[in-house]
Chains A and B, each alone.
Chain A
Amino acid sequence: MSLLQTEGLTRRYAGLVAVDAVTLAVPQGGVHAVIGPNGAGKTTFFNMLSGLVPPSEGTMRFAGQDITRGKAHRRAALGMARTFQNIRVFTEMTVLENVLTGLHAGMACGLAGVVLRLSGFRRAERAAVVASRAALDAVGLADHADALSGSLSYGDQRRLEIARAMVAKPRLLLLDEPAAGMNPAETESLAGLVRRIADGGTTVLLVEHDMGFVMGLSDSVSVLNFGRLIYSGTPAQARSEPAVVEAYLGARLAEKLRARHG
């Protein structure tokens, strides 16, 4: 059974269908990519998956549960985590505190326990710090734990966002354009990190338009164009699929290339 399943997922804005009846299944395990040209509806699709934008139509199921109407904050407890295209770390908190927020859903202690510093609370805080340091270590930021997050470089803030998303060991990690704004060296090391995350048992679904990044990394690729799902399959086949090539290059250029290369 698939980990994540959308059924006719649609989001309409006044005069625009941003995501149009997308039916997509993400299996358990591996790295899966949603690609498409700018404005294809990738981020809207992600925002519906993570509960930030309610769908106009259609349903979503995650880990066997209907999450169509569920709010964003419930996703974390179900094992869904995400990063953002425009990085959203809490810049006025330290790196370690940022990662600790990623464990919020699992912190069960009530206010009385917090104020009285009961042993359950203290134990949970200690465990959270240990887990967070490990998550920082996994992305190579252990030395920056006490720095203010806003002082990190762009690439490090992305890594921090990934650590914050991964600290609760989610079943599904959504990465929204993780390679955006990165240089080739950073992109390559990011690809290695994403691979390690998938090898560790977390299913990765990423939105990207850096084709090089996607092709080498993904086990499956789905292509959105004008909100519609036009292809779903292996990355290798996506390259030779006429609809995909057209979506990226425009119909006329694709025709010319076909004529030249037979």
Chain B
Amino acid sequence: MPAWLDDFLWTYQNLINTLGVNGLLALSMYVVLAVGQLSLGQAAFMGLGAYSSALMTMKLHLPFFVVLPASCVVPVLFALAIGVPTLRLSGVYLAIATIGLGEVLRTVYLNVDLVGGALGLNGIPERAEAWMIYGLLVVAIAALWLIGRSHVGRAMEAMRQDPVAASVMGVDVQRYQLGALLASAVLAGIAGCLSAHQSSFIGPNEYGFEPAVTILSFALLGGIGTPVASVVGAFILTLLPELLRGFSDLRLVFNGLIIVAAVLFLPRGLVALRMRRRAA
């Protein structure tokens, strides 16, 4: 490896890893939006993955190859607990319930000594490598792409456009909605685990409402026509604050503006490509 590249990677290691983690989070948002649901629980699921995996590493001393896949267990259980009752109802109940989940969990993290209270968890071993993060990102994009180009992807797109017509075509809309929410919890949980094991510190305020909106803006900016589009949105929104460091206090304002602008001017996102929905 040339010295300048080594230098570059060392300097920007944290940013490079964060980009990949945010890409996974964007996909976690994409899966839910792709079936026409709105969830604001991605940050909460990420937090559950981060805290549960950090505890598995620090208290149970489990190896990382066990911790990483196991980090999706707790988020999935919470997704089930929230999804089963709310997906029976149409409308914004899932969005509201998932906002509530994030706030409740934040308070729990603050007040439970096991997870460090307001101080969070420090000294998490740095076990997540860039190749793991990007490997999983590529696998997730490929899997979602292949699923998109199949009867499953057609059913998802159909119910996003018109759930009534989709159900008449034989699509079990509730089952797909729950499936998407669980897949989203898996992706966010793994992203949380990777992020916790590369930054060595996690705290209760990292998984509240603000990051939930940021993750939503990844997918809104990039678009949900293809899985890659949402990842592009995540990359742009992660890099911009780095490029505009002077504005970093206004980061949330900027995110809000981007959501408004995206809804007004780019209803399909920056990458407004449509996915071919068949494999033959």
CA–CA, A104 and B164, complex, Å: 14
Instruction: Tell me the count of chain B residues lying within 8 A, CB to CB, of chain A.
Output: 27
Residues of B within 8 A of A107 (CB): 151
CA–CA, A111 and B147, complex, Å: 7
Known: A97-B154, A101-B154, A129-B280. A115 touches B167 (CB 8 A): no
Q: Are A88 and B162 in contact (CB under 8 A)?
A: yes
What total of A-B pairs shows CB separation below 8 Å?
A: 104
CA–CA, A100 and B158, complex, Å: 11
Q: Are B168 and A90 in contact (CB under 8 A)?
A: no
Interface of B is mostly: helix
Q: Which of B147-181 contact A (CB under 8 A)?
A: 147, 150-152, 154-155, 157-158, 161-162, 164-173
- 12 A-B pairs besides A90-B162, A114-B146 with CB distance below 8 A are A71-B167, A73-B168, A73-B169, A90-B165, A93-B277, A100-B154, A101-B171, A104-B158, A104-B170, A114-B147, A121-B279, A125-B151
Quick check: is B278 within 8 A (CB to CB) of the other chain? yes
CA–CA, A82 and B154, complex, Å: 19
Q: Are B154 and A52 in contact (CB under 8 A)?
A: no
Interface of A is mostly: helix
User: A152-196 interface mask toward B, CB cutoff 8 Å, 1 = contact, 0 = none?
Assistant: 000000000000100000000000000000000000000000000
CA–CA, A124 and B150, complex, Å: 10
Q: Which of B157, B166, B280 contacts A125 (CB 8 A)?
A: B280
Known: A109-B151, A111-B152, A125-B279. A92 touches B167 (CB 8 A): no
CA–CA, A55 and B260, complex, Å: 42
Q: Are B147 and A72 in contact (CB under 8 A)?
A: no
Q: Are A90 and B158 in contact (CB under 8 A)?
A: yes
User: A110-126 interface mask toward B, CB cutoff 8 Å, 1 = contact, 0 = none?
Assistant: 01001101000110111
CA–CA, A136 and B124, complex, Å: 59
Residues of B within 8 A of A89 (CB): 165
A-B contact pairs, 25 of them (CB 8 A): A50-B168, A72-B168, A73-B167, A73-B171, A75-B170, A76-B170, A77-B170, A88-B165, A93-B154, A93-B161, A93-B277, A97-B278, A100-B154, A101-B169, A102-B169, A104-B154, A104-B158, A104-B170, A107-B151, A114-B147, A114-B151, A124-B151, A125-B151, A125-B279, A129-B280
CA–CA, A73 and B175, complex, Å: 11
Quick check: is B108 within 8 A (CB to CB) of the other chain? no
CA–CA, A88 and B167, complex, Å: 12
By CB atoms of chain A within 10 A, which of B162, B165, B171 has the most?
B165
CA–CA, A161 and B280, complex, Å: 22
Q: Are A92 and B279 in contact (CB under 8 A)?
A: no
User: B14-44 interface mask toward A, CB cutoff 8 Å, 1 = contact, 0 = none?
Assistant: 0000000000000000000000000000000
10 closest Cβ contacts across the A-B interface?
A: A76-B170, A105-B170, A107-B151, A125-B280, A88-B165, A72-B167, A126-B280, A125-B279, A114-B150, A97-B277
Q: Which of B151, B278, B279 contacts A104 (CB 8 A)?
A: B151
Can you name the residue of chain A whose Cβ is closest to the Cβ of B151? Answer: A107
Known: A104-B151, A117-B146. A81 touches B168 (CB 8 A): yes
Q: Are B157 and A93 in contact (CB under 8 A)?
A: yes
Residues of A within 8 A of B155 (CB): 101, 104
Quick check: is B274 within 8 A (CB to CB) of the other chain? yes
Quick check: is A84 within 8 A (CB to CB) of the other chain? yes
